[in-house]
Amino acid sequence: MTVVEVLVEGGKASPGPPLGPALGPLGVKITDVVKSINEHTEAYAGMEVPVKITVDAGEVDIKVGIPPTSALIKKELGIEKAQTDSTTDYTGDITLEQLKEIAKKKKEGMLAVSLKSAIKEIIGTCVSMRLKVEGKAAKEIQKDIEEGRYDEEIAKDGS
């Protein structure tokens, strides 16, 4: 059994490096593997996506990971780069609804046991990216969520 782990741009894997050279010696149909990876990752277009390919006796198993939280946030806000310097203005403002969508995508790869705790974890990334949440500093929203001020809004359409 051989395992190949790569980062590919969502929906744009190709038979060239890094996939071709890694899969060629394993005797699998590279074009079929690439096609499958692209189908599984097209929802993450424009983002680097971790992919794990397991080849065992000619059988191919493809597992697609979730892009980093910061990449999902940047895609959601349509920004390329976040501010990290605390002396500069905020990078942008994200809504609680957008955070819920990101949390739903990331939940299975997180340690969070609830949607609320997953959102709090993602807000931690917003702090380091210099983002506001609902027009407030991310740390302030984290405190409000901890105190239950957004429980009703978080509970809508999920939990």
pLDDT digits (tens, 9 = 90+) for 22-49: 998 988 999 999 999 999 999 888 888 9
What is the mean pLDDT, run by run of 10 residues, along the chain of 159 residues?
92 92 90 95 88 92 90 87 72 92 84 87 92 93 93 77
Give me the pLDDT at residue 60, please.
93
The structural domains of the chain, with segments of one domain joined by +, span 2-64, 69-155
Model pTM?
0.73
- Whether residue 91 contacts residue 109, with contact meaning beta carbons closer than 8 Å, is answered with no
- For 69-155, give the CATH class: mainly alpha
Give me the pLDDT at residue 141, please.
94
φ/ψ of residue 10, rounded to 5: -50, 125
Regarding beta strands 92-94 and 131-133, do their DSSP bridges make them parallel or antiparallel, or are they unpaired?
parallel
Note if the bond before 18 is cis, omega within 30 degrees.
yes
Q: Which CATH superfamily is domain 2-64 in?
A: Ribosomal protein L11/L12, N-terminal domain (3.30.1550.10)
Tally of residues, the chain: 159
